[in-house]
Structure 1
Amino acid sequence: MTLKHGFKAQSERTASKFRGELGLAASDALDPRVLAEHLGVAVVDAGSLIAVEELEELERIQAYSFSAATFDISARKIIVVSPLRSRGRQNSDIAHELSHVILDHDLSEVRELAGMPFRTCKPEEEEEATALGGALLLPRDLLMSAARRNATIEQIADQYLVTSEMARYRYNTTGVAKQVSRTR
């Protein structure tokens, strides 16, 4: 799957817009829960809806089968997030789900898993939400600043409250890794 031409640049502009609306400096961490509140989206811990033991059983049956999901209930968007994930992973999941909301994606595709129908987005919309979610949490300019400070992937992840996987993904897909290697 490939993002349409210009989508990554548009994601950076969108991230900059929302970060500006929240009064964040270029080097500030974005708390996706604060962005959700700004957008009028509720974030609910799944552990407040069902017993955590049931979530743990689901995890035992199929690891990482549930991290977060967005629901549209009475014209209100609600993101339900798994309490079994780390704070960094929750932040990535919430940013991803908020990206679906920002991009006005429609949960229109029905897929069947183990005989159960689930509504989901199209694969290209998932890719778009991943790209925008990453830009919200770790914009390219922020990563360039971190690279100039010689911050490691782990330091970036710790400082900006994301997973190392997200920090590495953004560091590589934004071209920061190549740009830094050319200047060293």
Structure 2
Amino acid sequence: MPINKAALARLAGDIRTETGLSPQDAFDPWEWSRRNGVKFVAIQSIPGAEEAVRYFTATRFGVWSAALVSDGVGHAVFYDDSRPRVRIMSDLTHEVAHVEAEHLLTPAWTSEDGKCGGGNREQEEEAAELAAAILVPKEQATLWALRGWPAESLARKYGVSDKLAEWRMNVSGGRIIANRTRNRRAR
């Protein structure tokens, strides 16, 4: 059953609270991992995986960045540690979102351009929405937008990409409110 955006926002707040974070604190997926017993494994650290590492980090760079797997009892996340730190944060938190949303693991798909993705596009969209809300709380995105502060500073505060910070500022409604206020003052 799909999870609506309001429920995803509440879940993000719950996850941040359970992790001991205020809206001003950056989310640490590695801390979440320690608290929840989900291992994060950089593919570069797997002995004997040199050929797979070369494939995913050089030959076909960009087709894959992280994957949540189950061993029947628990979960682990395999990820590409050669990516920029902001991408790793996003990738890991996306996989955290799958766990927290209790998504069923399904076989991965490969798109026509060769990129890998989850087996359920609806769940992938939910995980993207939830991960973004975990990483950049709505209250802070709204505040930044209302005050006209740059997305880049929000991105630095939370350790995310400028693009993600910009997106959160836009979907928070803060930019719409700020524009309406400016328009009213201009009349």
Fold match (TM-score > 0.5)? yes
Worse overlay, 121-130 or 38-47: 38-47
Runs of 4+ residues deviating >6 angstroms: none
Residue 120 of structure 2: aligned partner: 122
Name the aligned partner's letter for residue 161 of structure 1.
Answer: G
What residue in structure 2 maps to residue 103 of structure 1? 101
Q: CA deviation at 1:89?
A: 0.8
More strand per residue: 1
Alignment deviations for residues 1-57 of structure 1 (CA, whole Å, 9 cap, x no partner): xx95x7111111111111111221121111122122222211111110155675344
- d(CA) in 2 for partners of 1:66, 1:112: 10
Which stretch shifts more, 50-59 or 134-143?
50-59
What is the number of residues matched between the two proteins?
179
Tell me whether 1:165 sits opposite 2:171 in the alignment.
Answer: no
Gaps of 5+ in 1: none
Once the 2 structures are TM-superposed, how far is the Cα of residue 88 of structure 1 from its aligned partner? 0.9
Deviation at 1:145, TM superposition (A): 2.5
- Aligned pairs for 1:12-31 within 5 A: 12-31=9-28
**TM-score when normalising by structure 2:** 0.83
TM-score between the two structures when normalised by the length of structure 1: 0.84
| Matching residue's letter, 1:183 | T
The match for 1:41 among 11, 17, 38 is 38
Q: Which 10-residue stretch deviates more, 43-52 or 68-77?
A: 43-52
Aligned residue number for residue 131 of structure 2: 133
Q: Structure 2: how far apart are the matches of 1:55 and 1:177?
A: 41
Which of 69, 72, 97 is 1:71 aligned to? 69
**Deviations 1:99-144, CA, capped at 9 Å, x for gaps:** 1111111222453579x9x883311110000010111001211212
- 2: distance between equivalents of 1:172 and 1:150? 12
SS of equivalent to 1:38: helix
Instruction: Tell me the amino acid that sits aligned with residue 44 of structure 1.
Output: V
In structure 1, the residue corresponding to 2:9 is in which secondary structure? helix
Per the TM alignment, residue 161 of structure 1 is displaced from its structure 2 partner at its CA by: 0.2
Displacement after TM superposition at 1:154 (Å): 0.9
Kindly indicate whether residue 8 of structure 2 is the aligned counterpart of residue 11 of structure 1. Answer: yes
CA contact (8 A) 2:69 2:105 kept: no
CA shift in 2, pair 1:26/1:74, >3 Å: same
Would the alpha carbon gap of residues 81 and 119 (structure 1) be closer, same or farther in structure 2, given more than 3 Å must change? closer
Displacement after TM superposition at 1:180 (Å)? 2.5
Q: State, as a whole percentage, how many aligned pairs show the same letter.
A: 30
SS at match of 2:61: coil
Contact 1:105 1:121 survives alignment (8 Å) = no
SS at match of 1:79: strand
Q: Secondary structure at the match of 1:126?
A: helix
- Rg larger for: 2
Residues of 2 paired with 1:27 and 1:18: CA distance? 14
Q: Secondary structure at the match of 1:44?
A: strand
